[in-house]
Amino acid sequence: MEEDDVEKAVMAYLKKKGFKATELALQEEQSRNSSSSASKTDPDIAKQILSFAESENGPTRYHDGYSKLRSWTYSSLDLYKHELLRVLYPVFIHCFMDLVAKGYSQEARTFFNSFREDHELMHLRDLQKLEGVLCPSHLEEMEFAHSLRQSKVNIKICQYSYELLLQYLHKTQSITMLGIINEHINFQVSPGQPSSISDDADAVILVGSSQDAAKQINEKEIHWGLLEDSVEDRLEKAGALMSDSEKIEGEKEVDLDENKKRSVDGGKQGSSVKKLKKDKIVGTTGKNVRSETNTVSMAPRVKPELTLPVLSTEVEHSILEDLRNRVQLGSAALPSVCFYTFLNTHNGLNCSSISHDGSLVAGGFSDSSLKVWDMAKIGQSTVQGENGTPTEQLSGSENGRRSYTLLQGHAGPVYSATFSPLGDFILSSSSDSTIRLWSTKLNANLVCYKGHNYPVWDVQFSPMGHYFASCSHDRTARIWSMDRIQPLRIMAGHLSDVDCVQWHANCNYIATGSSDKTVRLWDVQSGECVRIFIGHRSMVLSLAMSPDGRYMASGDEDGTIMMWDLSSGRCITPLMGHTSCVWTLDFSGEGSLLASGSADCTVKLWDVTSSTKALKLDEKAGTTNRLRSLKALPTKSSPVYSVRFSRRNLLFAAGVLSKSS
């Protein structure tokens, strides 16, 4: 046995494992020994080293090592099994990618097909992407695979489970598995007993960017408050004055002089003081709800970074009138619900949108058309059943005439539509990679915006109108203004499709949800990412911002909704209840309720205010709290495409009647 072969095998092993210090020390030792007579190596030791080097390079070690680790994990005690199972998926994908990287394509395919069933339930979309990796070059070309190879997976595990795993790896001398775990997994070890199975949703964080980079981004300062001198701001200030005066008057009518002062500040507000006062003293429930929602006015005020459009006096008065007549919602005062059902769409409906006052409903179809229904022009009757189930139907024709306005112009399926805040415009996005602006008054296409290179999945008007945001299969989001055909900003950073986009209440930020399972918050002025929200286990399909700008809700393909604190970037609580994709989310006008619509044919209402208050108390005690589901409203076999709270807090929803299975 030649000693040179042994030295080469040892050097190759040290180089592959990255033991640079040891490699340099061995090289120095070899240079010293080269001048003197070379010592002979025991043939048995040399043989063992070479056989070990050969086994290190063999493809069977991955299959055998993972198979043994898998068998040991599944035979573990139930108390620790669910934590130990978290290790299997990252080990599985890195074993597969290591085999591909070494050129063992056939063995990698066999390994992948042998164990993929274990992970299809939780990670089907990831597996479908990795299935296309067939040669080493694909690992570099596919950004998802490349990012996985460059980053570590964060896994939460208790101290005892961690020690059990290390004990098994050392006892069985599973060098290959130990190397993969050491190189690609970062354990977040916690003292005490294992976490509950219900907390598995955020126990494994598989993300393309490194965790350190995400932490660094989340430390950036953001100003999440409401806009200064907005219509809502002025009304809230006037409302605060009014509540103070009511305390002084002691539940008596406000005198005429007080009314005159307020009418100067708030236009028609003086005439509605009695009505607002009457609403307040209707019952104790109303008082409780109103006191809960006063926290919205405590949000800080920020200056707009964009040049915002100026609202006409007539529009301001209309908005003020809606805000004055807003019904205060809470856990004891749920909203009225109006559900619009699309009939006979022949599986062609891709999206729906409802205007702020519910007067217009739009649908985007696979035949490239956009259809808009005016509720004032069709016969309708809204009935809410005794069990709270809402019903409303849109018929396709009325007396032989078409009851909708047909808007044609796209060259591919329409995937998203959104009404401007005043309802005078509508935007639509399509697979033809364009966005079109339509006038609801002229019923005509005004502008075609071209900038994306692939299908545009979502488009959303800003809360003030004029500006809008879009997101696409090209993994970018873009900011536009109605008067320019080129985008103002391009937000790039997601590792996969950007599926949904939503504006912040102050128009200074937009949020994007992606198939890479993350949500990002972007600064509109600079175009930089200022927050990365990690925790979803499937693609993010819907987003909603609270009216005070403090919280954000995101819904994913698995039916999980997560509530995030924008200032810290932390997940406040997951909302469990839906059994299928959450396609739409919206907060009530004062932010006390969250409505969610899902492919499981239900609209759910969640209590935001009381749960976030309880959460602050529970944080001190170290316990976890989840948002309370107030009510589930089932539809008659209609997946829910969109939900929308009007300014007066009436809840509108829309879906398509599908054949029951």
Residue 99 has pLDDT above 60, yes or no: yes
pLDDT score recorded for residue 594: 93
Q: Most confidently modeled of 103-112, 285-294, 442-451?
A: 442-451
CATH number at residue 144: 1.25.40.500
End residue of a domain, out of 138, 167, 190: 190
639: alpha, beta or left, given left = phi > 0 and alpha = psi -120 to 50? beta
Question: Higher-confidence residue: 238 or 484?
Answer: 484
Q: What is the pLDDT of residue 627?
A: 61
Q: Which domain holds residue 109?
A: 57-190
Residue 525 lies in a domain: yes
Flag whether 292 is in a domain: no
- Within-domain flag for 565: yes
In DSSP terms, which residues pair with 543 in a beta bridge? 554
Q: Let me know if residue 29 belongs to a domain.
A: no
% the chain with pLDDT above 70: 75
Stated length of the chain: 661
The last residue of a domain, from among 190, 207, 238:
190
pLDDT of 398 > 60? The answer is: no
* 18 belongs to a structural domain: no
Asked whether the whole model's pTM tops 0.85, one would answer no
CA dihedral 288, 290, 291, 292 (to 10 degrees): 90
Tell me how far CA of residue 553 lies from CA of 298, 334, 513, in angstroms: 20, 19, 11
CA distance 296 to 239: 12
> Over 90: is that where the pLDDT of 184 sits?
no
Q: How confident is the model at residue 252 (pLDDT cuts 50, 70, 90)?
A: very low
pLDDT (0 to 100) of residue 587: 94
Given this model, what pLDDT does residue 123 score?
77
The pLDDT assigned to 306 comes to 82
Average pLDDT (632-638) is: 90
Mean pLDDT, all residues of the chain = 78
Average pLDDT over residues 234-263: 45
Q: Is residue 577 part of a domain?
A: yes
We report the CATH number of the domain holding residue 476 as: 2.130.10.10
Element (H, E) at 415: strand 414-419
Cβ–Cβ contacts within 10 Å for residue 173, how many? 9
**Four-point Cα dihedral 558, 559, 565, 571, nearest 10:** -50
Total domains in the fold of the chain: 2
Judge whether residue 430 has pLDDT over 60: yes
Tell me the pLDDT tens digit for each residue of 126-170: 788 788 888 888 888 777 788 788 878 888 888 888 899 999 988
pLDDT in tens, 585-625: 999 988 889 999 999 999 999 988 765 665 555 544 444 44
Between 217 and 627, the more confident residue is: 217
Query: Which pair of structure tokens corresponds to residue 53?
Result: 């080097």
* Residue 505 counted as domain residue: yes
CB atoms within 10 A of CB 623: 10
How many angstroms separate the Cα of 327 from the Cα of each of 139, 297, 511, 650? Answer: 55, 17, 28, 8
pLDDT given at position 258: 40
Tokens representing residue 571 in the block: 């997940």
Q: Is the pLDDT of residue 37 over 50?
A: no
164 located within any domain: yes
Task: Give the residue from 131, 164, 190 where a domain finishes.
Answer: 190
**How many Cβ atoms from other residues are within 10 Å of residue 527's Cβ?**
16
- Per-residue pLDDT of 354-393, as tens digits, reads 998 889 999 999 999 999 998 888 764 444 444 444 444 5
Q: Could you tell me if 553 and 595 are in contact, meaning their C-beta atoms sit under 8 angstroms apart?
A: no
Q: Report yes or no: 129 and 116 within 8 Å, Cβ to Cβ.
A: no
Distance CA 268, CA 262 (A): 9
Residue 418 has pLDDT above 60, yes or no: yes
* Phi, psi (deg, nearest 5) at residue 459: -145, 140
Burial of 405 (0-12, 13-18, 19+ CB in 10 A): middle
Q: What is the model's pLDDT at position 57?
A: 56
Scanning 85-158, the segments in alpha helix (DSSP H) are: 88-101, 105-115, 120-130, 136-141, 143-150
d(Cα 24, Cα 11) in Å, to the nearest integer? 10
CB neighbourhood size of 153 (10 A): 22
The predicted pLDDT at position 383 comes to 40
Helix (H/G/I), strand (E/B), else coil: 539: coil
